[in-house]
Amino acid sequence: MTTGSGPNLVLLHGWGMNAAVWSPVVESLARHYRITLIEMPGHGESEYDPNQPDLDGWVNACLSVAPERAVWIGWSLGGQLAQRAAVLDPDRIEKLVLVTSSPKFVVGDDWPHAMALATLKLFAKALSRDHHQTLERFLSLQVQGDDAARETLRLLRQDIALRPEADPLALEHGLDLLLTVDLREGLTAIQCPMLWLFGERDTLVPADLCDEIERILPASEILILQGCAHAPFLSHPQQCLRALNHFLGSNNA
């Protein structure tokens, strides 16, 4: 799906979501950029190949429908796909914007600022019983602590309903990616400019992660968005647009 004209921007959503979640910022961005909205495998109208359940399979599926060269903006799990795309095919990625994303979503050795492994394992167990209920709980966690939590949750529910439901097997495999992927070693191989946006009140990707990112990637730009939880482009779209325009070298509002 494409809209607008100008330099290429790719927008890549997170686990269990679809392209409609970018609705609060797409119209503004499309005035100055050509936007390609990519839906991850098995999400929205994107078909799912169960024989390609690993991260590289998902990344290659996204690269196959992306412009030859673009700025990639990835939210949450979409940010991990964008990070990996910049390693697998660096000539395709002009700049990276990682929105409340991480190279590793669960706590590990020397990696304290992440979700507890037990939390995601509970999600995986619940997903096998009732994926609708599990997604609803995940939506609530994404807005927890946000100073616009109620409205943001309403927008998330509304936008997700605009597109086809995610494939249950894709949800299962995507949760496996959240549990297992660790991109820390490859981060220093990424040569393009990077902007990391964190939500001050995010309970899924804590803002304290910025210290680890600064240590690994001292040249990256890092911004903590005040009052925001895990979906800042929904809860605080103007704040996000200002950050994007500054990073992209634009004065557009």
Query: Residue 230: inside a domain, yes or no?
Result: yes
pLDDT score for 162? 87
The pLDDT-based confidence of 240 (bands split at 50, 70, 90) is very high
Residue identified by tokens 């679809």 is 18
The answer to whether the annotation marks 139 as part of a ligand binding site is: yes
Q: How many CA atoms lie within 13 A of 121 on its CB side?
A: 4
Say if residues 239 and 200 touch (Cβ distance below 8 Å). Answer: no
pLDDT in tens, 186-226: 999 999 999 999 999 999 999 999 999 999 999 999 999 99
* C-alpha distances in Å from residue 61, one per residue of 45, 58, 139: 13, 5, 25
Query: Residue 159: inside a domain, yes or no?
Result: yes
The answer to whether the annotation marks 230 as part of a ligand binding site is: yes
The answer to whether the annotation marks 76 as part of a ligand binding site is: yes
| More confident call, 91 vs 161 | 91
Active-site option among 13, 173, 230, 236: 230
pLDDT score for 253? 41
Look at residue 252 and tell me whether its pLDDT is greater than 60.
no
Query: Residue 215: inside a domain, yes or no?
Result: yes
Residue identified by tokens 């995986």 is 124
Q: Which range among 33-37, 65-69, 144-148 shows the weakest confidence by mean pLDDT?
A: 144-148
The answer to whether the annotation marks 81 as part of a ligand binding site is: no
Percent of the residues in the chain that have a pLDDT greater than 70, as a whole number: 98
Q: Which range among 8-22, 63-77, 115-129, 151-165 shows the weakest confidence by mean pLDDT?
A: 115-129
SS3 240: helix
The answer to whether the annotation marks 132 as part of a ligand binding site is: no
Active-site option among 146, 202, 235, 236: 202
Of the candidates 154, 167, 199, 126, the one whose C-alpha atom is nearest the C-alpha of residue 18 is 167
Query: Residue 253: inside a domain, yes or no?
Result: no
Query: Residue 237: inside a domain, yes or no?
Result: yes
SS3 137: helix
pLDDT in tens, 141-158: 888 888 888 888 888 888
The pLDDT-based confidence of 125 (bands split at 50, 70, 90) is confident
- H or E element at residue 132: helix 131-143
Q: Is the dihedral of CA 204, 187, 216, 220 positive or negative?
A: negative
Percent of the residues in the chain that have a pLDDT greater than 90, as a whole number: 74
pLDDT score for 250? 55
* C-alpha distances in Å from residue 18, one per residue of 1, 12, 75, 211: 12, 8, 11, 30
pLDDT in tens, 75-123: 999 999 999 999 999 999 999 999 999 999 999 888 999 888 888 888 7
CA–CA distance, 250 with 72 (Å, rounded to integer)? 16
pLDDT score for 184? 94
Query: Residue 128: inside a domain, yes or no?
Result: yes
Q: How many CA atoms lie within 13 A of 42 on its CB side?
A: 23
The CATH number that applies at residue 65 is 3.40.50.1820
Respond yes or no: is residue 46 known to be catalytic: no
Active-site option among 28, 46, 76, 102: 76
Look at residue 251 and tell me whether its pLDDT is greater than 70.
no
- Please count the other Cβ atoms lying within 10 Å of the Cβ belonging to residue 236: 23
DSSP state, 22?
G
* Domain enclosing residue 241, as ranges: 2-248
Respond yes or no: is residue 28 known to be catalytic: no
- Domain count of the chain? 1
Full-model pTM: 0.94
Respond yes or no: is residue 202 known to be catalytic: yes
The answer to whether the annotation marks 128 as part of a ligand binding site is: no
Kindly give the interhelix angle for 131-143 and 168-180, rounded to the nearest 10 degrees. Answer: 50
- Please count the other Cβ atoms lying within 10 Å of the Cβ belonging to residue 246: 13
Query: Residue 218: inside a domain, yes or no?
Result: yes
The answer to whether the annotation marks 141 as part of a ligand binding site is: yes
Average pLDDT, rounded, for the chain: 92
